[in-house]
Each structure stands twice: as C-alpha cells, then as structure tokens.
Amino acid sequence: MGSPFAVKHASRSSRIGSIGFAIAFVALVAAPGFAGRDDLRLLSEIFSYIVLASLWNLLAGYAGLVSVGQQAYVGLGGYVLFAATIVAGIHPLIAVPLAGIAGALLALPVAGLMFRLRGHYFAIGTWVVAEVFRLLASQLSALGGGSGISLPAGMVIAMATTRQWREFLIYWLSLALLAAVLGGIVLLLRSRYGLALTAIRDNEIAARSNGVDVWRVKLAIYVAAALGTAMMGALIFLQKLRISPDTAFSVNDWTAFVIFITVIGGIGRVEGPIIGTLVFFILRRTLADLGSLYLLMLGAVAIAVMLFAPKGIWGFVAERFGWHLLPLERRLRFAADARTK
C-alpha cells in the first residue's frame, strides 16, 4: 500500500523560475561570444558578490552566525593563491581550489574560538579575526608586505596565451563557482540537513530540543562558507592580478556591501542575494557620480527597505504573491487531493 501523502517541492512559480535560471545560465555561458571585455568583467564582479552574499546569507540567515569578518576568508583566499603561485610555483588555476581548502582548514580553529561567543560578541570577534589576518598579511615580505604584490608575468601567461582568453577563463570559472554555490545551497536546503538548518533559523532552542545537533550544523556551515568565500577571493584577485592587505581584507568591499545586498534582497531566502546584488549594482551605476553621498544614499535605501519590507524585497514579494523562484518549499500532497485533480 502506498503512502497516503507525498512531499512536493515544486510549485508553478518555482518551475518557471527554474526554467528561467537554466536559460539565463546558458546565455551567460555563451556571453563571451557577444559581450565586450568590460561587460564580462562587470558580470564577473556581479557573480562574485552573489557568491559572497549567498554564503553570508547561509551563515546569518539560516545558521544565525552574523559575521562581520568574512573579508578574512576573501583575503586569505587571495593570499594563498599568490603564495602558491609565487613561492611554490603552482599553476594559478590549481591554486584556486587550494585556497578554498586552506580557508576551510583555517576555519576549524577559528570556529572553535568564535563559537564560544554569542550575539554581538560573535560579530565583533569575527571582525577582530579579520583584522589579525590583515596585520599578518602586511608582515609577509615575500608577498610585498603592506604595499602588496603583483602576479608575475610568467604566471599570467601560464593561464592563457592572450589577455582575451584569460578574461574568458576567469569569467567562466566565476560563473562555474556561482552555479556550484547556488546549486549546493539548493541541494542542502532540500535535504534533511536543510530541515535541521531551517529549524535552527526559525527557533534554535526548539531545534535543539528536537534532537538537532546545533553546534555541529553551525560548524559545517561555517567551514563550507569559508571554503566558498576563500575560492571566490582567489578568483577575485586572480582577475585583479594584484593584491595588498588593505584591498584583500577590506571590510567595506567584502562585508559591508555583502550585508547590504543580503538585507535588501531578503535574508533567509536563497533568491534574496541574487535580487539584492542586482539592486546594488543598479544603485551603484546610478549613484556612483554623487561621490561621498553615494554611501549615504545606500544607507538610506537600506533603512527604507528595513522599515517598509523588513524581510527584504524578495521576502515581501514572496509573502505578497506567493512566488518562489526555486523549488525549496515543502508541501504535503495527499492521495485524495491528487485523485480529485
């Protein structure tokens, strides 16, 4: 005898959204064939912010780990890539996953220390760790110390013989990492571990009382976020071809903007960082000429969104219209309901 009910993930809007994502992915893969170099660099930057915001959303929006020090792993990834290529002579493309592994390994002792803190103490602690990383990087004379260093010409040529193909390669790698991160998050949230993570997001005490190993789940998410963030950091500075402590560990570029993106897009929703990144780049294009007022305008937008749409732009849309771009919702469908349709 079959089960009287089944769990359904997909809805009409999520099916349309999934098709839209597939079409967009195919178009983006083919973009080097018709887009200019500046357009590809802009798209690569958009991909990087979606990745960073999605991983921060996984940390803060689901695991409740509000970190203001994720720039530590962006900078770490960049410095591991430069150290691996300059000091060890490793090919830059091989150094990218090595940067992710280094970020994950270093995240283990950092998590052991940071998880002793709660709430705003945890947030401040992560920022302190990032500052320690920055100060340590400024002492690495082999990598330029405080002034930074550029990637040697030989390593640049090793990636591709022409600048155009190097740009194409970094663009495709950024797109591949974006697809891997978003795909991994969707698969995670559809699994039983995703149920545990959602339970932690909704009520950590209730999740613990129902048998969820909260500490272990948070550790796994923190390490996974560090791995993805470090890999993205390596790709960011592989495209820049130069690194310095101030740019690698910039709290504005790699954390403040990421938090802004996630909050206005919709924290605790996979679609939120995507929507937030698009809004952020539109605002940057239209407001960048205002100089210092640009940051004030971003702050005003963030305040307006938090006042009138506390769950973010996509959170407001999802609650108002019931739209979901990805098949993540769980709905029970009983056999009697299926027979009547």
The pLDDT of residue 108 is above 90: yes
Cα separation, 38 vs 167, in Å, equals 10
Confidence of residue 129 (pLDDT cuts 50, 70, 90): very high
Q: What are phi and psi of 7, to 5 degrees?
A: -90, 120
Q: What are phi and psi of 6, to 5 degrees?
A: -140, 150
The pLDDT of residue 336 is above 60: no
Q: What is the mean pLDDT of the chain?
A: 89
Q: What is the mean pLDDT of residues 149-155?
A: 90
What are the tens digits of pLDDT across the range 48-77?
999 999 999 999 999 989 999 999 999 999
Q: Could you give the angle at the alpha carbon of 195 between the alpha carbons of 193 and 197, nearest 5°? A: 70
Confidence of residue 159 (pLDDT cuts 50, 70, 90): confident
pLDDT value for 1: 45
Reading the block at residue 237, the tokens are 């500075």
What are the tens digits of pLDDT across the range 2-45?
556 565 666 777 788 889 889 999 999 999 999 888 999 999 99
pLDDT value for 261: 96
Is the overall model pTM greater than 0.85, yes or no? yes
Confidence of residue 337 (pLDDT cuts 50, 70, 90): low
| E-strand stretches of 147-283 | 149-150, 242-243
